[in-house]
Amino acid sequence: MKNAMLGERGHSKLVPLVSVFLLGACFCAVVVLGKSWLEFSPMKVEVEVPSNKEAEQNYGNPVLTPYVNVAFSVARTDPLGPFPNDTTMQWNYMFANAGGAFDMGTGVFTAPVGGTYYFSWNGQKRSNTNDMALYLEINGAGQAGIYEDNWNGGGGIFTPTLNPGNAQSDMVVHLYPGDRVHLRLNDEAYPYSTSFGKYTGFTGFLLFADF
């Protein structure tokens, strides 16, 4: 009888100890598993994606932006001219207009930021009566040009020809915000182009900004 009572007392003391041990083990497991989840679970980061400026471009109302991603490339799909007076070269095909600084309606590029820019222009003359001349102007002041008369010459005798004659030039120049750049087509000039060849074109882009 005495031994039975001692056995029951020992058992009653063992139950709380086992309960404390189990609770401690559960707590440790929660801590370890929770730490592992924090270490290995991916963090959710909210990323703001800027709007697509290219989608906002249009020919009549260019979108001027302060961004340094500025580049355009335009061309003709048919001949232009000749005109009785000098005129701003007009374009009817756009390859790109990143930053929206080129206005297809006026044929003028307006620098959105100050910086160093690169410009390139080319043209083809295929007329037996008219020359081809295109001059780059900044704020109305001539900078450089291309010219092609495409005349055959030999023995001091020059005769016009319909064979294609191509000319191209480029330049690097510094512009201030708001400076206007375009190509001037000389009077009686006749630059030739087609929808397939696009032989007459104008390209420019920002190399690096001032800021």
Q: Which fold has domain 55-209?
A: Jelly Rolls (2.60.120)
pLDDT given for residue 163 in this prediction: 74
4-11 average pLDDT score: 48
How do residues 140-175 score in pLDDT, each as one tens digit? 999 999 988 766 665 555 666 667 888 999 999 999
For residue 110, list its beta bridge partners: 180
pLDDT given for residue 103 in this prediction: 95
What single-letter DSSP state applies at residue 49?
Answer: P
Q: Residue 71: which of 107, 112, 33 has the closest Cα?
A: 112
Q: Is the pTM of this model over 0.85?
A: no
Listed by start position, the domains of the chain span 1-47, 55-209
- In terms of phi and psi (left: phi > 0; alpha: psi -120 to 50; beta: otherwise), the region of 107 is left
On whether the CB atoms of residues 211 and 113 are closer than 8 A, the answer is yes
Asked if residue 85 has pLDDT above 90, the reply is yes
Asked if residue 93 has pLDDT above 70, the reply is yes
Q: Which residue would you say has higher pLDDT here, 111 or 68?
A: 111
